[in-house]
Chain A
Amino acid sequence: MNSKDHARIDGIRRTQGDVANHVIDEFVAGRLSRRAFIRRGTVVGLSLPAIGAVIAACGDDQESSSTTAAPGTTGAATETTAAGGTDTTAAPVDTSAPAPTGGTLRVAGVAPSAASATLDPVLINDGGGLILLSQTGQFLTLSNPDLTLSPALAKEWSANADATEWTFKLDPAAKFSDGSPVTAADVVATIERLVDPANNSNSLSAFSTGKLSPGGTKAADDTTVVFTLNGPFANFPYIVSSDNYNSVILPASVKDTTNFAADVAAGKIATSGPWTIKSFDATSGIVYVPNPNYWGKPLSLSGLEFTFFGDQAATVAALQSGEIDAIPQVSYAGAESLFDNPDYTVSEIPSANHRQIHMRCSEGPFADKRIRQAMALATDRKAIIEAIFGGRAAAAYDSPLFSMYPSAGNVPETPYDVEKAKQLVADAGGGFDVTLYGINYYEAPDLAVILQNAAKEIGINLTIELRDDYYDKNWVRTYDPSVPGADIGITDYGHRGVPDVYLNAALKSFTSVEDGAGVWNAAEFANADFDAAVDEYSSTPDLQGQKAAGEKITGILQDEVPMLIPFAINFISITTNKVSGAVATGMGHYFTDSAVIS
C-alpha cells in the first residue's frame, strides 16, 4: 500500500462513523478477509463504492464491481461457498435492467398461518405470510442471500462510536403507490407500532434483541431517522432489514393494519414495493399487479400470482405439469426428481435454518454433561446431511454461530467418535430410556429416526414422540410450570441474518418474559460465563471482538452441549428454465422485481 492509497482510505474514513472506520481498519490491517469485509462493511453502512475503493486501495487484485447493487434492487447475491465443503450455486443475478418482456410469474406459495391470514404486517409470523409482504412492501435495508446488506428505502446508514445510536438516511426518490414520498415520519410511525407491546407485534423479540424500545425512534428531518438504543448493538441494521420481515415501512397515515391485504387491494393502504394486490384469498392464493408509482427499476413482469399449496408432492407435480413456474422454497425429500433435471433451474444458498435438539441440563438423564457430550460425539453429521438433504446442508457443530456468519470465528468440528461416546456414557453410569419429543413436520421424523439409531449405539434408548402440540407441551416450561417440557426435543428454527436471537432467546439464562432473555431456553441451560460471552458478543462493535466472543461462546456450547445442532439447511428454490432473475433469500423472501420470463 503506497501513500496515495493511504490518502484515499483516509478520505473514505473521514466520511464514515467510528464503527465503520473500525471495520475499515481491521480490513486494512489484514484481520478481515475480503468477503468478510464486504459483508461487515455493508452492515455498518459503508456504501459499496466506498468498500470497493478501500479494497482497491489495499491493492486487492480482484475487482469488486461485481457486487454493486442499485438501490431498491436485490442484485447483490454473490458467489458463496457453503461451510462443510459443499459446493453451492448462488441465486441467478441479472445485473442489467431487464427488458420489459411481460408475462405473469406463477409461484407456489403456502397459505399463511392463522396470525398471518389477513397479511397484517404487524402479526405475520410465518414463511407463507412473509413471502407476500415483500412483494408489496419495502424495508429500510435489504438482507441479501449472501448476508450483505443493500440499501432499500434507506440510502445510507451509520452509527455513533459505541453503536448505541444509528442514523438512517432515506432515499429521497422513494415513494408510495399513491405517489407520496416515503418520509422519516412514516418510518417512525411504522417502527413505533412494532415496538409497542400493546400491538402483539411478532417482531417484539427482534427489537428487544436489537435493544430498541418505544420512543427510541425519532425523525431528525424529513429523510433522516435516528434510532437510539438501550445499549450498544453492532448488528442493528439487520433489525430494520428484510430479515425482520414485519418492518415493512407503511405510510404514517395508516392506523389499522388488521385487514391489510383487503385494504391494499382496495387502495386504502399505500405501499412502496414493486407490486400491489389485485385480489387476495387467504385460502387459495393472491394476484398482484404492478405498482403504477413504483420508484425502483422498471419491472419486466406484467403480473405475479401465488397459488397456495398444502403438500410438497402437489407442488412438485404442479411445477412438472406446467401449472406453476417457480417454487421459492422446497425441501429436498420429495423433490428429488427436480434436481439434475435440465428443465429446471435449482438455486441453493446457505442459510441458518436449522434444528435444535435440546437436552435438559437442569434435571433428568441429560443433566450429566458427559451424556450430552456423548450424544454430540455419536452424531454423524455428514451422514445425516447426506441421508436427509442429499448433501444440501452444511454441517454444524452444536453452536448457532454457523460458519456462514462472518462473526462466528473458528468453529471446531466435533468428531464422530462412537467409542469415546460409549466411554462417556459408561463413566456417567450407563445408558437409559428416555422419550424424544419434537415437532411433527419438515424432516423431523427422519431426523428423529436417525437420532434414535445413533443413541442406541451408545446405550441410550429413545422412544420417539413427535407431537403437533409439541410447542404447547414439550418445549419451554421455564415460565409456565404446568408445561412438562421434555428431557430431549427437536425444535425448528428459521433463518436469521445474524445469530443474536438464537443466543439471546434460546440459550441465555432465563430472566423474565419482558426481558426476553432465555424465553425459548428449552434446555434450561444456565451458565454465567456463557451469558457474559453473549453480552460481550452483541455489544462489541468491532468484528475482531465479536469473533473472539463468538469463539468463547462456541467453546462453552461445545463443552456443555445444551443442544445438538447437527446442520444448517441450504435454502433451495426451483424455477422452470423460462424464469430468471427471481432471488430467494435464506429468510424466505422471494424478490421478483428483477424476474424475467423468456
Chain B
Amino acid sequence: MTMPAELEPTAGAPTGYTAKAVRKELRRQLFRSKTFIVGSLIVLFWVVCSIIPSAIATHDPSKQDPLSKWIHPFFQEGHWLGTDRFGRDVFSRAIYGAREIMIVAPAAVILGTIIGIVLGLLMGYFRGPLDDALSRLIEALMSLPLILVALLALTALSSGRGTIILLIGILFGPIIARTIRAAVLAERNLDYVRAAELRGERSTYIMFVEILPNVMGPIVVEFTVRLGYAVFTMAGLAFIGFGTQPGSPDWGRTIFEERAGLLSNAWWPCVVPALALASLVVAINLIADGIQGLIDR
C-alpha cells in the first residue's frame, strides 16, 4: 500500500469511456464485491450507532447501579453483555462508544490525507531539491518516537478531541505523502502530463486537476488503511492518559480502564469494546480490499 509497484496499474486508466460511464461501471462492480458489501454493512451499523445510539442501546451508558455490578454476559437481568464494576451496561457502552472513534478517526485521517496529498503532489511533481528537502524532513520526523510527539502535544495543548485529530493527522500526513509521491512519480512521465505542460498550464493546475484524479485510487486505499491505524493509535494513546476523559464510553479508554479485569476473570468489560474495535477496523479494511480489487483488475 505504501509501495509504488502495486499502484502502477492505475496508470493505464481505461480510455474511450466517458467519465460518468466509468464511474457507473465501477459502482456496479463494487456492489458485486462480497467483501465490499460485508465491510460496508458493518461500518454502516457503527455509523448508525454513532448517530443515534439511543435507538440501539438498551440502557443509559453512564448510569451506575451499585446493586448490579459484575453481572456476567449473555442476557442476564436485562443486560445483554453484562455490567462493569459500576453496574453500567456493557452493551450500551459499546454502542455509545462508537461515536468518539467515528468522529475522531475519519477527521484525523482526512487531515492526514490532505497533508499527504499536498506534500505528495509537490514532491512527486517537482522532484529535485524540493523533493529531497521535504523527503529528508519527513524522514527525520518519522524517526521521532510517537510517544514523544504525543507527550509534546499533550503538554502543549489540552487533551481534547481537537488535539488528537491534529496529532494523528500530523503523524499520518508524511506517511501518506510518501505513497502519493510514489504514485505521482509514476504519473509524472505519462503523456497527458507532458501534453498539459506543453499547453502551458500552471503547475498547480496540472497537479490538482490533471494528476490528482488519476492517483485517487491509491489515495482511497491509503485513506481506508490509515483509518484502521488511526483507531489503533487512539487506543494506544489512552495508555499514556491521552484521549477522552474518565466516564466516556470510548472504546480505547474502556479497553484500557477495564484491562485489569482480565487478571481476575472479569473479561467482558474489556473484551466487548475490543471486539467492537476489531470489527470496525476489519470492516474498513474489507472495504479497502474491495476497492483495491477493482483497481487491480
Contact = CB atoms under 8 A, between A and B. Distances in A.
B92 to A, nearest CB: 15
Contacts of B259: 313
Does more than half of chain A's interface fall in helix, strand or loop, or is it mixed? helix
Nearest to A339: B264
A312 interface: yes
Contacts of A445: 246-247, 257
B76 interface: no
B245 A465 contact: yes
Contacts of A316: 263
A334 B155 contact: no
Nearest to B160: A465
A452 B247 contact: yes
A466 interface: yes
Secondary structure type dominating chain B contacts: loop
Contacts of A463: 245
A337 B247 contact: no
A316, A383, A387 — which one has the most chain B CB atoms within 10 A of its CB? A387
B245 A313 contact: no
B208 interface: no
Contacts of B241: 440, 466, 468
B263 A449 contact: no
A317 B245 CA distance: 27
A114 B57 CA distance: 46
B35 interface: no
Interface in B214-251: 241, 245-247
Contacts of A32: none
Contacts of A448: 245-247
B63 to A, nearest CB: 8
B66 interface: yes
Given A448-B247, A467-B159, A468-B241, A333 B66 contact: no
Contacts, number: 58
B69 to A, nearest CB: 7
B59 interface: no
A328 B245 CA distance: 30
A446 B62 contact: no
A79 interface: no
A469 B151 CA distance: 12
Interface in A571-592: none
A464 B69 contact: no
Contacts of B127: none
B64 interface: yes
A411 interface: no
Interface string B77-97: 000000001100000000000
B154 interface: yes
Interface string A135-155: 000000000000000000000
B265 interface: yes
B103 interface: no
Contacts of A465: 245
A91 B247 CA distance: 36
Given A452-B247, A464-B247, A383 B264 contact: no
B246 A337 contact: no
B64 A450 contact: yes
Given A464-B247, A465-B245, A450 B154 contact: no
Given A334-B260, A387-B69, A448-B246, 12 more contacts: A313-B260, A333-B85, A336-B264, A387-B66, A387-B85, A440-B241, A449-B62, A449-B246, A450-B86, A464-B245, A465-B245, A468-B241
11 contacts: A313-B260, A337-B265, A386-B66, A387-B64, A387-B69, A440-B241, A452-B62, A453-B62, A453-B63, A467-B159, A468-B155
Interface of B: 62-64, 66, 69, 85-86, 154-155, 159, 241, 245-247, 257, 259-260, 263-266
In order of increasing CB-CB distance, the 5 nearest A-B pairs are A334-B260, A445-B246, A337-B264, A449-B247, A464-B245
